[in-house]
Amino acid sequence: MPTIRSRAPLRVSFAGGGTDVHPFPAMEGGAIFSATINRYVYGTLTPRDDDLINIESVDFGITMTFDPNQDVSLEGDLTLFKAAIKRLNDGRAPGFDLLVRSSAPPGSGLGSSSTVMVCLVGLLRDHYRLSLTNYEVAELAYHIEREDLGITGGYQDQYAATFGGFNFIEFESGRVLVNPLRISDDIVRELESSLLLVDLGMTRASSEIIDDQTARLERRDMDTLMGLRMQRALAFDMKDALLRGHLTEFGEMLGLAWEHKQRMSPKITNPHIAEAYALAKAHGTVGGKITGAGGGGHMLLFCDLKDRHRVAGALEEFGAIVHDFAFEPSGVTTWTKR
């Protein structure tokens, strides 16, 4: 059997983050505007001559071998890998060697953990010869993470990595609708020229932030509720602004999304993030926000092209790592190496 390869893109979120997390979608319906970028999770699956499965995570520097026909514990290391295999293994296909590496570590705010799961589901789908639609791949990845492993979080990352491109994603109780957006090449190129992706040099556990946000929402904390409502409204407004090519307005709303995101939980920001953002604004940034749950990871900044180098230089002196990037139109992709 041939070697199977997979590539799934990471994402940046513009607005709406948090409105995909229970119980808000059931209460009022959520909406997120996001896009995938040219940072990826890569996977390779090579069939073996026996029934054993060997896993290697390049990011964690961990390797393990086990028999999938015996009870597989979902405790300890490499739980994402083991849970995906346990859910999809049909007991008939041969064993395999599995290797996965990512362009960004867990806690980066780019949806890396869920993108790993989507990459794994893509590989295992082909290995076990399953017929799955994009919606089924994303839903399966969601259920393995949230239900089988009990990892706190929302829906957006699995769907973004599976579908790829610019998407306006709506969430209701038990229903997700992905609306792919057709944005002109000129607007996409100008947006890429206006954005900076800034690694703040600190990762975080998103589950703690999401748990705090959920607890506040369940006790009807008005600041959290209003923050989520504004996130949803801005997702609609930013989508419309980008489709019309109103990029400065888009950048200003990126900053508004950050202001309202901080209302959802006090754990979302910290002095290091606040200092970095104030420095970026002082050197010409129009608006920006943390790309994931908050607390660290990456910051996405919008600035006029004439100010871009000044913003980047100031942040690099601050100790951050500034990246150029491009948008990726494709979602999870698999192919064979014969």
Measured CA angle at 49 (ends 45, 52), to 5 deg: 70
| Distance of alpha carbon 14 from alpha carbon 255, whole angstroms | 10
- What is the CA 48 to chain-centroid distance, rounded? 32
| Distance of alpha carbon 163 from alpha carbon 260, whole angstroms | 27
Instruction: Please say if 223 is a catalytic residue.
Output: no
Using DSSP's 3-state secondary structure scheme, residue 70 falls into coil
Using DSSP's 3-state secondary structure scheme, residue 40 falls into strand
Q: Which amino acid is at 331?
A: G
Residue 264 CB-density burial (10 A; 0-12 exposed, 13-18 middle, 19+ buried): buried
Smallest Cα–Cα separation from 320: which of 284, 280, 262, 287? Answer: 280
| Alpha helices per DSSP H over the chain | 24-27, 79-88, 112-127, 134-143, 156-163, 185-194, 206-218, 222-243, 247-261, 271-282, 308-318
Choose, from 20, 126, 157, 199, the residue flagged as catalytic. 157
| Distance of alpha carbon 92 from alpha carbon 96, whole angstroms | 12
Active site residues: 157
